[in-house]
Structure 1
């Protein structure tokens, strides 16, 4: 397992040449930060219905828009397991009947990668940039990060810790798959939640979560929830954990931050061949330990 820690804004992991890792669904947090920068700049409002859609940006970001997810398709899992090239987004939406709402927006919760595909398209439309350009210009570069990019081809994943074992086509991640060092993932989340990229009010809204159940066996949350692009909830000991877990063929990444009064700690960890809960447990253990030592 590889991990990286930030305590009170200061990296605790010695500088070293890090392997690039797939960020999987932690990409959603980066997309959310990019979308919220559009709200900050007055290009869109969180709670206005999108053009020609019955749902809002807030509902998309919080998985409350009524959309299904292609992870529900058995054909999708079979194609990925067989190392097949990704379907086009159009074909995926046809197979899923992806424009049909499964519930009235705002009335329920259902995790949906399709929602974040639509967020990516919205970012491109409102900025007149490619998603790559918009994410770098509006989120990655302003937070002082580098060596973070979207994987577009199988060859891009050959440079990650998955290495030559990966026959996975990153185009299967329809909202885009960021890759980068895990230290950059930890710094991104820490700086996003503590710096001035977004105004305080937007950061508070980002971390206002819809509770999505009770204690989860094998996972750290007592009250799991989902905010605007972040998994947010209370864990044992009363700490509020904010960040995101991501998993894909071959690896799991977990990136989380805890605040304790004036102190804060952020940890990113990635592991191959692991379960989500196991990596989350390692992250939580490191966060609690370093906060005790650093306070």
Structure 2
């Protein structure tokens, strides 16, 4: 669900393990900087890292650290993990496919599809378009920023009491609507998970099927993403997978906790999906190459707005563009949820893609891994 969750944490006791190239090759010299960045993340306190790359030379993968701090079992290149807000790119892709089919318009007011749902404390779904949901210019309050929600689901005492709660999309939206909007629709930018909960609800209203079914039918099955799923209320991770760890506190100090099992309905269409590095690189390569969207819709997706306070980056429709220190542009998304931080990016031509996951949510430099791979 993005940066709002990354205060959750865990510190790995014991020495860091060196990165192991999962393809068995000591080579792939072109990925040496990536390997060093992975090792550095583990040295910084991340329990374990798994990363995968697809480029003109084929595939490469590497792991570092541990997937289980109790047993010392290493991470695997085949690990499946919670991808958090990377879910947003899948959701946006489905809505853009529906636009290409003439079933919706990005300029439709939210109220057209969800009449009366976005009302209260100054929110008005008649003035907010689907485009504003997808590029975070709606002004709708971010439900995960609600203090009560944070205490209940992100801090230790609340998490262990409520980790298996089921929350409906309407309940998540209702939390947001207790607050005033961040700004008038279309006048600024602010990351809000509520936008994508609503986008998932729109998909269901348009198609008559849950957004999860549409992602499965339109993306997962056609691309043969065998490690990818939309879990709904399923609390476990499919195998192979590692444990996920968090501090469950607004600090990087103190004890860490195993948070692998949780009900991901608290993230809904904003961040509930599970995937692996091979699938994520396949998905983003296919997306940027135009395999999932017609040219017009892909252009819309790549039309960005400025991200306040983040230089050299822009946000499109569920897709982020960033310019790296070496001048390379990469497109993709980050994702954070309890005990899991991920990033998946690719060059604009889809020829070079990276996906990486940390199984702790309080330490490590994800940007350094991306810079290492592409610069």
* Equivalenced residues, count: 279
Note the alpha carbon deviations across 1:99-150, whole angstroms, 9 max, x for none.
Answer: 8543221111111111101110111111111222111112222333223111
Q: Deviation of residue 195 (structure 1)?
A: 3.5
The one of the two structures with greater contact order (alpha-carbon pairs below 8 A, sep at least 6) is: 2
Question: What stretches of structure 2 of length at least 5 have no aligned partner?
Answer: 1-48, 63-75, 116-124, 245-257
Task: Give the equivalent residue in structure 2 for 1:225.
Answer: 314
1:203 and 1:93 mapped to 2: Cα distance? Answer: 28
Residue of 109, 117, 125 corresponding to 1:49: 109
Q: Deviation of residue 154 (structure 1)?
A: 5.4
Report the aligned-residue RMSD.
2.5
Question: What stretches of structure 1 of length at least 5 have no aligned partner?
Answer: 217-221, 289-295
2:363 and 2:330 mapped to 1: Cα distance? Answer: 15
- State whether structure 2 residue 345 is matched by structure 1 residue 285: no
Task: Give the equivalent residue in structure 2 for 1:68.
Answer: 141
Secondary structure in 2 matching 1:257: strand
Contact 2:204 2:211 in 1 (8 A): yes
Q: Which has the larger radius of gyration?
A: 2
Note the alpha carbon deviations across 1:204-229, whole angstroms, 9 max, x for none.
Answer: 22111111135x5xxxxx41211100
Secondary structure in 1 matching 2:197: helix
Note the alpha carbon deviations across 1:148-199, whole angstroms, 9 max, x for none.
Answer: 1112335323754236642432111032511122210111111111132211
Task: Give the equivalent residue in structure 2 for 1:147.
Answer: 227
Task: Give the equivalent residue in structure 1 for 2:301.
Answer: 206
How high is the TM-score relative to the length of structure 1?
A: 0.85
Secondary structure in 2 matching 1:25: helix
Runs of 4+ residues over 6 Å off in structure 1:
none
Task: Give the equivalent residue in structure 2 for 1:292.
Answer: none
Task: Give the equivalent residue in structure 2 for 1:58.
Answer: 131
1:276 and 1:111 mapped to 2: Cα distance? Answer: 22
Task: Give the equivalent residue in structure 1 for 2:17.
Answer: none
2:366 and 2:201 mapped to 1: Cα distance? Answer: 31
2:60 and 2:179 mapped to 1: Cα distance? Answer: 45
- Using a 3 Å threshold, how does the CA distance of structure 1 residues 113 and 139 change in structure 2: closer, same or farther? same
Residue of 184, 206, 213 corresponding to 2:279: 184
Contact 1:255 1:267 in 2 (8 A): yes
- Using a 3 Å threshold, how does the CA distance of structure 1 residues 94 and 197 change in structure 2: closer, same or farther? closer
Secondary structure in 2 matching 1:141: helix
Task: Give the equivalent residue in structure 2 for 1:30.
Answer: 90
Secondary structure in 2 matching 1:142: helix
Residue of 265, 268, 275 corresponding to 1:174: 268
Note the alpha carbon deviations across 1:31-89, whole angstroms, 9 max, x for none.
Answer: 11111110111111122323043221111100011211012112112112232125444
